[in-house]
C-alpha cells in the first residue's frame, strides 16, 4: 500500500467524529454546511471530523432539501430538538438575529459548542447573555467575523503591530453594498427593529467594528449618524431567503438604519472613520480599510482579497505605494493555494472559520473570533445607536 494512503488512513482513524447541526438554513446555513464539508480537505491535521447530524429549519421542505443535498442524517422543524439531541456536540446558529439569544443560551446550557453568526442578537445584552451562558457551560465558541480571516488582513495586522508603518494615526473602514438598494426589496425581518435589530449596524458595521479592533485595538469612544433612505418596503407573501423582492405587496415602514457613519477614538490615541450602507447603488460588497501611520500606510479591498497596498520607508512625502500579494506563510493561505497571487474567495474565509472553531473544540482552547469579540462589537453598536439619537460622543467603558 502506498505510504501516502497509509498516512491518510492513520490520520482519519485518529480523528474523533464530532456531531454537528445547523439551525436555520438560509444562505448562511448553506455556507456553514459547505464549510464543514470542505474543512478536512484544507486542514487534514484537524483532530475532529465533523459529522452532519441534523439541520433544523421551520420553513416546510427546506430542511429536507438540505439533508438530501448535503447528507445530514436527519431534519427538524424545531431547534429545540437539536438542543435535546445527544448526538449533537456542536451547532451552527444561522437563524435570524432575534432568535440568536434564545437559541444560543439554550445550546450552551445543553453543552453544545457554538458557532454563531454576527451580530449575536439585537443588543449587547443579548450577546453578553449568550457569552455568559457559554462561559458557564465551558463550551467553545466562534462568531462569524469572517473578514478578519483573510490572509491579507492578518498580514496587515502583523505589519501594524510590528511598527512597519510607524505609529498609527488614523483609519478609514468602509462597508458599502447594494443588497437593499432596490425599492422592491422585500420587508423581511432584516428591516424590522424587533426582529432585525439595528439594521446596517448589525449587518455590516458589526464587521467594521471587529476589523477596527482586530487591527488597532480597543475603541475608547465614538459618535455616529444614521439614516433610512428607503422608508417603505413591501411585505413578502411567502418564505424568504437572502434578499428577496416583493413587488406589489402591502407597504410597511423600514424601522432600522440603511446607513451609518461613525467617528472613532481608539484607546491608543488613533482616530477612525467607519461608514456602512446597504443601499449604495453601484457598490457590490465594497468592503475595506485604509490604515495610516507616521511612516506609511496599508490598504485592503475585499474585492481584491489577496492584495495589500503598502507604503513604507523614510520618504514620508511622495512615498510610493506598492502592491503586495499574500501567499504561503500569510495567515491560512497555504491551506488553499500553493503560491502567491492565486485567488481565495468568501467561502474560503468561512472554511478558515470552521477550522478554527473545530480546532477550538478539539483542543479546548479558543482560536479565532469568539463570543467575547461579539460582545465588544455589540457594545460599540449600542453606543452608535445612542450617539445617533443624542448627537453626542459616547464613551465605551471597556468592561464588555
Lowest mean pLDDT among 1-5, 33-37, 159-163, 355-359: 1-5
Which CATH entry fits the domain spanning 147-342+371-395: 3.30.360.10, 3.30.420.10, 3.50.50.60, 3.40.50.2300?
3.30.360.10
Q: How confident is the model at residue 11 (pLDDT cuts 50, 70, 90)?
A: low
Q: How large a percentage of the chain has pLDDT more than 90?
A: 87
Average pLDDT over the chain, rounded to whole?
A: 93
Confidence (pLDDT) at 242: 54
On the question of pLDDT at 398 being above 80, the answer is: no
All CATH 3.40.50.720 domain ranges of the chain, comma separated, are: 3-145
Confidence (pLDDT) at 397: 76
* Averaged pLDDT for residues 52-78: 97
Please check whether the domain covering 3-145 is classified as CATH 3.40.50.720: yes
* Averaged pLDDT for residues 35-60: 97
Confidence (pLDDT) at 236: 80
All CATH 3.30.360.10 domain ranges of the chain, comma separated, are: 147-342+371-395
Confidence (pLDDT) at 175: 98
On the question of pLDDT at 6 being above 50, the answer is: no
Q: Where are the beta strands (DSSP E) in the chain?
A: 16-23, 48-56, 74-76, 90-93, 113-116, 141-143, 168-176, 219-227, 232-234, 251-253, 259-266, 271-277, 286-293, 296-301, 307-312, 322-325, 394-395
On the question of pLDDT at 390 being above 50, the answer is: yes
Contact 46, 354 (CB under 8 A): no
Q: Tell me 204's DSSP state.
A: I
Name the pTM for this structure.
0.92
* Averaged pLDDT for residues 213-230: 97
User: Which of the two residues, 396 and 196, has the higher pLDDT score?
Assistant: 396
Confidence (pLDDT) at 215: 98
Contact 393, 221 (CB under 8 A): yes
At 69-92, the pLDDT tens digits run: 999 999 999 999 999 999 999 999
On the question of pLDDT at 399 being above 50, the answer is: no
On the question of pLDDT at 311 being above 50, the answer is: yes
Sequence-distant (6+) residues with CB within 8 A of 213 are: 219, 373, 376, 377
Amino acid at each position: 500500500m502506498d505510504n501516502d494512503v497509509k498516512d491518510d488512513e492513520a490520520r482519519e482513524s485518529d480523528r474523533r467524529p464530532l456531531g454537528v447541526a445547523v439551525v436555520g438554513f438560509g444562505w448562511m446555513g448553506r455556507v456553514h454546511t459547505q464549510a464543514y464539508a470542505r474543512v478536512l480537505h484544507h486542514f487534514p491535521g484537524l483532530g475532529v471530523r465533523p459529522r452532519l447530524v441534523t439541520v433544523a429549519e421551520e420553513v416546510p421542505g427546506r430542511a429536507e432539501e438540505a439533508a438530501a443535498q448535503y447528507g445530514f442524517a436527519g431534519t427538524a422543524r424545531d431547534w429545540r430538538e437539536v438542543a435535546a439531541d445527544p448526538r449533537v456536540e456542536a451547532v451552527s446558529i444561522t437563524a435570524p438575529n432575534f432568535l440568536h439569544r434564545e437559541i444560543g443560551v439554550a445550546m450552551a446550557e445543553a453543552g453544545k459548542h457554538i458557532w454563531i453568526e454576527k451580530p449575536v442578537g439585537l443588543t449587547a445584552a443579548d450577546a453578553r447573555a449568550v457569552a455568559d451562558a457559554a462561559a458557564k457551560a465551558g463550551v467553545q465558541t466562534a462568531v462569524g467575523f469572517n473578514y478578519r480571516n483573510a490572509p491579507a488582513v492578518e498580514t496587515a495586522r502583523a505589519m501594524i503591530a510590528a511598527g512597519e508603518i510607524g505609529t498609527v494615526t488614523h483609519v478609514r473602514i468602509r462597508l458599502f453594498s447594494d443588497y437593499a438598494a432596490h425599492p422592491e426589496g422585500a420587508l423581511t425581518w432584516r428591516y424590522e427593529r424587533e426582529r432585525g435589530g439595528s439594521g446596517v449596524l448589525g449587518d455590516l458595521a458589526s464587521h467594521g467594528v471587529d476589523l477596527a479592533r482586530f487591527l488597532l485595538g480597543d475603541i475608547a469612544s465614538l459618535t455616529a449618524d444614521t439614516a433610512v433612505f428607503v422608508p417603505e418596503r413591501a411585505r413578502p407573501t411567502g418564505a424568504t431567503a437572502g434578499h428577496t423582492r416583493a413587488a406589489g405587496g402591502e407597504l410597511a415602514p423600514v424601522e432600522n438604519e440603511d446607513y451609518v457613519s461613525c467617528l472613532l477614538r481608539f484607546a491608543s490615541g488613533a482616530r477612525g472613520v467607519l461608514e456602512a450602507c446597504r443601499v449604495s447603488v453601484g457598490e457590490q460588497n465594497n468592503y475595506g480599510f485604509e490604515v495610516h501611520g507616521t511612516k506609511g500606510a496599508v490598504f485592503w479591498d475585499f474585492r481584491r482579497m489577496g492584495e495589500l497596498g503598502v507604503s513604507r520607508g523614510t520618504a514620508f512625502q511622495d512615498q510610493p505605494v506598492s502592491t503586495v500579494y499574500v501567499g504561503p506563510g500569510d495567515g491560512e493561505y497555504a491551506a488553499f493555494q500553493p503560491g502567491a497571487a492565486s485567488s481565495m474567495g468568501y467561502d474560503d474565509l468561512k472554511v478558515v472559520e470552521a477550522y478554527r472553531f473545530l480546532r477550538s473544540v478539539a483542543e479546548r482552547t479558543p482560536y479565532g473570533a469568539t463570543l467575547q469579540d461579539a460582545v465588544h462589537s455589540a457594545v460599540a453598536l449600542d453606543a452608535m445607536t445612542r450617539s445617533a439619537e443624542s448627537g453626542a460622543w459616547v464613551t465605551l467603558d471597556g468592561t464588555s
